[in-house]
Amino acid sequence: MLAAPSAAIDLPLKILVREDNNGKVWISYNSPEYLRDRHDIPPELIPDIAGVAALVAKAGEQAGVEGQLIQVPPTLRAACTILPKGNGD
């Protein structure tokens, strides 16, 4: 955190898992790219937080969430979300 003190607001990394009213499970988190841009984290430190994507994929797999990973542009929202199958219906 010495390299980017403002990152303390977003660390440790968090993953939000929630179920909507239709029973679909959503997994969301702040992407390393978003955190890099938000806090001006030096590029050499990004690998230290990049493992979150693998953790999210594993959590989704274990929870039985099948879907696709969508990345919302940081200008719109900070989170990456695993979009449940059939969400566009």
- Residue 81 CA to residue 59 CA, distance in Å, equals 12
- What are the pLDDT digits (tens) for 72-86? 555 544 455 555 555
Select from 73, 65, 55 the least CA-distant residue to 18: 65
How far from 12 is each of 24, 30, 63, CA to CA, in Å? 26, 11, 22
Residue type at position 67? G
- Residue 65 CA to residue 28 CA, distance in Å, equals 12
The residue ranges of every structural domain in the chain are 5-84
- What are the pLDDT digits (tens) for 34-54? 889 889 999 999 998 888 888
Do residues 70 and 80 lie in contact, with contact meaning Cβ atoms separated by under 8 Å?
yes
